[in-house]
């Protein structure tokens, strides 16, 4: 085999291996996305501040117009 042919085969194989690694990383991320989403929801539910609902004020505009 000539040197150039071996070099071309080596470069093609290295590029294929490079893209295969990224393909496997993409597939791993796709399979782990539901797990990450569930963990994220759990963490946000734990760390969310408790919302205190204030009593609704009624007839604010009427009170304002009566005072002025």
Can you tell me whether residue 15 is helix, strand or coil?
A: helix
Quote the DSSP letter at residue 1.
-
What pLDDT was estimated at residue 59? 59
Taking the domains of the chain in order of start, what are their residue ranges?
Answer: 3-67
Q: Which residues of 7-27 are buried (b: 16+ CB within 10 A; e: fewer)?
A: eeeeeeeeeeeeeeeeeeeee
Stretch 2-20: mean pLDDT: 96
pLDDT (tens digit per residue) in 25-66: 999 999 999 999 999 998 888 887 777 776 666 656 666 666
Q: Which of 19, 42, 22, 40 is nearest to 30 (CA)?
A: 22
What pLDDT was estimated at residue 64? 63
For the question of whether the overall pTM of this predicted structure is more than 0.95, the answer is no
Stretch 13-33: mean pLDDT: 97
């Amino acid at each position: 085999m000539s040197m150039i042919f071996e070099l071309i085969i080596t470069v093609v194989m290295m590029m294929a291996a490079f893209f295969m690694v990224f393909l496997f990383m993409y597939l791993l991320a796709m399979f782990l996305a539901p797990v990450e989403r569930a963990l994220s929801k759990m963490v946000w539910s734990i760390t969310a501040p408790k919302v205190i609902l204030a009593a609704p004020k009624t007839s604010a505009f009427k009170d304002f117009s009566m005072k002025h």
